């Protein structure tokens, strides 16, 4: 438990972290991954190279330090972290590794004149407090998933039973358990964790479930990323009949029940979790506005499927925006999804529930547009596929 003096030290170091937090976390990751190769599968190396992971950690550390007296003010951040950890199977034995490397990084980056023994002790106590919170919450979630119908803990072997090309960039993969038993039903919007080996090295990734779970199998739809080690392996090497290990579904970005009109907005591969949400919503009577943005028709996945749903369900209105004119005339608009288009495509009454996903710049723009046209901020939600970041 942190004492008053330690809390005061934590808060006093916030300005130092604000000015140099990313440098500190970059040094931390480099040290930890070099000295502890056993934790490398838990971290996406592409996110390390881009700086997204260090920035996300720096932001999380700052949020924690700023609210050290009122941890309830962290809002949904803790839930997001817990679910990401569970999907990748972060375990209690991983926390001491992270903690020791983080304290060393603080000392080495800030220097011993600033990172005094008292500062290191305070941060050690703060990290211990946070680790206890996360470990306890994650254990509860692990137990819950293991005890649920079709649930399990740790890895479970699944077989690829079907592949489907959805666009020139996206392929869907259908996995069924090798043991033939039921699988845990996922909530619309959740993701699944994969453990696989590429070139002899273990990799772990989270992918959104792109279809409503039927208790029999899971579907993910993966975009081929340039240089992406796992996405290219899945596209090029994983064949029907091959097996790999899956972790139970997780994620708190899920479709909430309600009768307000539902608006689903996606850009690119951000469409994947909205597909399960759309399926679930169409089992009710609530109006749905489905808005998807793509570069062109060649990369637009699931368009025909959504069109078929719209033809069968009068409650569904769908709109497509293409960045490029490919001559297909499938798009309702060309260019970017600006404020005027969004205002036109949303219900006239702005008392709606909105979920949006896509590239960071896209989501930042959507967030601004929704506020400008009068959608209550508390009625829109978004999630990052990779490390979280501020949307400005």
Q: Which residue, of 147, 172, 191, is where some domain finishes?
A: 147
pLDDT tens digits for the chain (392 residues)?
788 899 999 888 888 777 777 788 888 888 988 999 998 888 876 666 556 677 777 777 788 888 887 777 676 778 888 988 998 899 999 999 999 998 998 899 888 888 899 999 999 998 898 899 899 999 999 999 999 999 999 999 999 999 999 999 999 999 999 999 999 999 999 999 999 999 999 999 999 999 999 899 999 999 999 989 999 999 999 999 999 999 999 999 999 999 999 999 999 999 999 999 999 999 999 999 999 999 999 999 999 999 999 999 999 999 999 999 988 889 999 999 999 999 999 999 999 999 999 999 999 999 999 999 999 989 999 987 654 544 44
Looking at the structure, do residues 116 and 34 belong to the same domain, yes or no?
Answer: yes
Q: How far apart are CA 376 and CA 109, in angstroms?
A: 42
DSSP string, 133-200: HHHHHHHHHHHHHHHSTT--SS-EEEEEEEEEE-SSSEEEEEEEETT----PPPPTT-EEEEEEEETT
User: Among all chains, which residue has been given the structure tokens 């999630």?
Assistant: 383
Does residue 391 belong to any structural domain of this protein?
no
Looking at the structure, do residues 374 and 294 belong to the same domain, yes or no?
Answer: yes
Residue 128's SS3 state is helix
Residue 320's SS3 state is strand
Q: Which residue, of 92, 114, 147, is where some domain finishes?
A: 147
H helix and E strand count, the chain = 12, 12
| CA nearest to 20, candidates 53, 54, 63 | 54
Looking at the structure, do residues 58 and 89 belong to the same domain, yes or no?
Answer: yes
Q: How far apart are CA 316 and CA 300, in angstroms?
A: 19
Under a CB-based contact definition with an 8 Å cutoff, are residues 276 and 212 in contact? yes
Looking at the structure, do residues 99 and 176 belong to the same domain, yes or no?
Answer: no
- Structural domain containing residue 239: 156-250
Token pair, residue 132, equals 């206890």
Looking at the structure, do residues 96 and 58 belong to the same domain, yes or no?
Answer: yes
Establish whether 169 is a catalytic residue: no
Percent of residues in the chain assigned helix, strand, coil, to nearest 5: 45, 20, 35
Looking at the structure, do residues 165 and 225 belong to the same domain, yes or no?
Answer: yes
Token pair, residue 74, equals 């962290």
**Marked catalytic residue, from 22, 95, 225, 233:** 95
Looking at the structure, do residues 210 and 236 belong to the same domain, yes or no?
Answer: yes
Looking at the structure, do residues 368 and 272 belong to the same domain, yes or no?
Answer: yes
**Marked catalytic residue, from 29, 64, 127, 138:** 138
Under a CB-based contact definition with an 8 Å cutoff, are residues 323 and 296 in contact? yes
Establish whether 138 is a catalytic residue: yes
Looking at the structure, do residues 26 and 102 belong to the same domain, yes or no?
Answer: yes
Looking at the structure, do residues 267 and 166 belong to the same domain, yes or no?
Answer: no
Under a CB-based contact definition with an 8 Å cutoff, are residues 331 and 320 in contact? yes
Backbone angles phi, psi at 380, to 5 degrees: -130, 140
Which uninterrupted H or E stretch holds 287?
none
Does residue 373 belong to any structural domain of this protein?
yes
Task: Please tell me the total count of domains within the chain.
Answer: 3
């Amino acid at each position: 438990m942190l004492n008053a003096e330690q809390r005061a030290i934590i808060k006093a170091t916030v300005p130092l972290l604000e000015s140099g937090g990313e440098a500190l976390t970059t040094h931390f990751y480099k040290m930890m991954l070099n000295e502890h190769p056993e934790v490398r599968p838990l971290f996406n190396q592409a996110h390390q190279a881009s700086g997204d992971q260090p920035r996300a950690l720096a932001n999380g550390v700052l949020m924690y330090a700023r609210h050290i007296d009122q941890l309830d003010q962290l809002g949904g951040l803790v839930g997001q972290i817990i679910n990401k950890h569970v999907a990748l199977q972060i375990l209690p034995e991983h926390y001491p590794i992270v903690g020791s490397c983080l304290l060393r990084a603080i000392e080495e980056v800030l220097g011993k004149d600033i990172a005094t023994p008292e500062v290191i002790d305070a941060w050690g106590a703060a990290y211990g407090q946070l680790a206890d919170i996360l470990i306890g919450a994650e254990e509860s979630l692990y137990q819950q998933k293991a005890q649920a119908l079709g649930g399990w803990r740790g890895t479970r072997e699944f077989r690829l039973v079907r592949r489907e090309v959805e666009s020139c960039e996206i392929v869907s993969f259908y996995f069924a358990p090798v043991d033939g038993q039921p699988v845990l039903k996922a909530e619309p919007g959740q993701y699944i964790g994969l453990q696989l080996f590429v070139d002899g090295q273990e990799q772990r990734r989270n992918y959104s479930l792109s279809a409503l779970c039927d208790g029999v199998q899971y579907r993910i739809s993966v975009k081929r990323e340039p240089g992406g080690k796992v996405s290219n392996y899945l596209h090029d090497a994983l064949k029907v009949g091959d097996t790999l290990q899956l972790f139970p579904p997780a994620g708190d970005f899920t479709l909430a029940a309600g009768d307000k009109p539902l608006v689903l907005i996606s850009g690119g591969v951000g469409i994947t979790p909205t597909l399960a949400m759309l399926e679930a919503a169409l089992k009710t009577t609530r109006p749905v506005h489905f808005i998807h943005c793509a570069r062109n028709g060649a990369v637009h996945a699931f368009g025909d499927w959504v069109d078929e749903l719209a033809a069968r369900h009068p409650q569904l209105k769908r709109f497509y925006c293409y960045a490029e004119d490919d001559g297909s005339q499938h798009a309702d608009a060309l260019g970017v999804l600006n404020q005027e288009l969004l205002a036109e495509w949303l219900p006239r009454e702005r008392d709606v529930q909105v979920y949006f996903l896509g590239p960071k710049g896209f989501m930042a723009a959507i967030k601004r547009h929704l506020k400008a046209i009068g959608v209550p901020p508390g009625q829109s939600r978004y999630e990052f596929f990779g490390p979280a970041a501020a949307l400005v």
